[in-house]
């Protein structure tokens, strides 16, 4: 019996050491997977085809109706008092337009508030709205003609964290992950709270996943419901928090999150959702 006990202890220690080594190797593999995709090309974006930007200058031939049609194609909104980008007011042949900035070739067209007057089918006046003087030339952003999607039919418009209003970020964190800036990828209290709520209801009525876990599930894993997948998700969430800042994780979440369907096209990220649902850029919300 003593010999059997010794052999059992030796085998147990060997098995424990091998298990720890296997766990370390597995964690290192997951870490490599996390870094490879997060630091590489994260998303396969659709190829977008645009028309030429509309040049505006004094003497250019354009009719008021055609200019307004162009503004509507670009999802500009007619209002009585334009104060934000993407808004305009028309009074017969006179326009007040708050344009959006955009990248054009090697140049950057800034956002401006401008006045345009049209007479006899030509621009007769092009000036700043604030009285800084006339403008020799300006451009409206090009109209999107079409998209060529990757095989998985996902679409998104990438945004920076700085593009999103503080109010939207506060609302997102309040709903999805109140302790986002406090946990290390996993919130055990939220998981326990969700388990108790689900047991009481007899069905899944509450989730305990953090924003980091949601990002890991959407970015790296499948929607499979199993303890193995959840354990893998937790480890990868911890590794993601270990490697990257909260700001980087939140920005990736804002671009990755699934927010609806448009036929075969999957709407991902707040940038595209703002355009698809509200005809605004995320900066304008």
Predicted pLDDT at 173: 92
If DSSP codes are grouped into helix, strand and coil, which group holds residue 8? Answer: helix
Co-location of 127 and 37 in the same domain: no
Co-location of 30 and 140 in the same domain: no
Q: What tens digit of pLDDT does each residue of 219-256 get?
A: 887 777 777 878 888 888 888 898 889 999 999 999 88
Any idea what the CATH number is for the domain that residue 258 is in?
Answer: 1.10.3810.10
In a domain, 270, yes or no: yes
Q: pLDDT grade, residue 110 (50/70/90)? A: confident
Q: What tens digit of pLDDT does each residue of 58-79 get?
A: 999 999 999 999 999 888 999 9
Co-location of 52 and 96 in the same domain: yes
Co-location of 176 and 217 in the same domain: yes
In a domain, 252, yes or no: yes
Count how many domains the chain has: 2
For 27, 223, 275, 283, the CA distances from 217, given in Å and listed in that order, are 17, 7, 25, 27
- Is pLDDT above 60 for 91? yes
> What tokens were used for 193?
């709270």
Co-location of 39 and 126 in the same domain: no
Co-location of 239 and 181 in the same domain: yes
Radius of gyration of the chain (CA): 27
Q: In which domain, by residue range, is 196 found? A: 23-45+149-284
Co-location of 28 and 105 in the same domain: no
Co-location of 32 and 166 in the same domain: yes
Predicted pLDDT at 119: 93
Domain boundary among 147, 170, 189: 147
Domain boundary among 114, 147, 180: 147
If DSSP codes are grouped into helix, strand and coil, which group holds residue 152? Answer: coil
> What tokens were used for 198?
């689900």
Any idea what the CATH number is for the domain that residue 123 is in?
Answer: 3.30.2060.10
Co-location of 141 and 155 in the same domain: no
In a domain, 14, yes or no: no
Domain boundary among 147, 177, 210: 147
Predicted pLDDT at 61: 92
Co-location of 153 and 32 in the same domain: yes
In a domain, 155, yes or no: yes
Neighbouring residues of 198: CB distance < 8 A, sequence distance ≥ 6: 204, 205, 206
Residue 269 burial by Cβ neighbours in a 10 Å radius (0-12, 13-18, 19+)? buried
Q: What tens digit of pLDDT does each residue of 119-178 get?
A: 999 999 999 988 788 889 888 888 877 666 665 667 788 888 988 889 889 999 998 888
Predicted pLDDT at 4: 62
In a domain, 10, yes or no: no
Co-location of 117 and 104 in the same domain: yes
Co-location of 272 and 211 in the same domain: yes
Give the torsion through C-alpha atoms of 156, 157, 161, 165, to 10 deg: -100
In a domain, 53, yes or no: yes
Average per-residue pLDDT in the chain? 82
In a domain, 6, yes or no: no
In a domain, 248, yes or no: yes
């Amino acid at each position: 019996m003593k010999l059997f006990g010794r052999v059992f202890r030796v085998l147990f220690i060997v098995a424990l050491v091998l298990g720890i080594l296997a766990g370390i190797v597995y964690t290192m593999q997951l870490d490599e997977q996390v870094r490879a995709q997060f630091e590489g090309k994260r998303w396969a974006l659709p190829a977008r085809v645009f028309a030429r930007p509309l040049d505006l200058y004094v003497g250019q031939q354009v009719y008021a109706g055609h200019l307004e049609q162009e503004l509507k194609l670009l999802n500009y909104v007619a209002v009585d008092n334009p104060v934000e980008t993407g808004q305009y007011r028309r009074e017969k042949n006179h326009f007040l337009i708050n344009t959006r900035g955009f990248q054009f070739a090697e140049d950057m067209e800034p956002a401006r508030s401008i006045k345009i007057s049209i007479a006899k089918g030509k621009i007769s006046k092009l000036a700043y709205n604030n009285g800084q003087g006339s403008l020799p030339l300006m451009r409206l952003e090009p109209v999107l003609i079409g998209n060529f999607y990757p095989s998985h039919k996902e679409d998104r418009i990438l945004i920076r964290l700085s593009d999103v209003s503080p109010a939207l970020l506060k609302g997102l964190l309040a709903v999805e992950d109140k302790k986002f800036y406090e946990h290390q990828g996993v919130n055990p209290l939220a998981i326990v709270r969700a388990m108790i709520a689900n047991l009481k209801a007899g069905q899944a009525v509450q989730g305990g996943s953090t924003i980091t876990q949601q990002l890991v599930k959407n970015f790296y894993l499948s929607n499979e419901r199993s303890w193995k997948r959840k354990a893998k998700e937790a480890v990868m969430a911890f590794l993601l928090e270990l490697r990257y800042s909260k700001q980087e994780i939140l920005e990736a979440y804002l671009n990755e999150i699934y927010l609806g369907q448009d036929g075969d096209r999957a709407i991902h990220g707040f940038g595209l959702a703002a355009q698809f649902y509200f005809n605004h850029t995320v900066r304008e919300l």
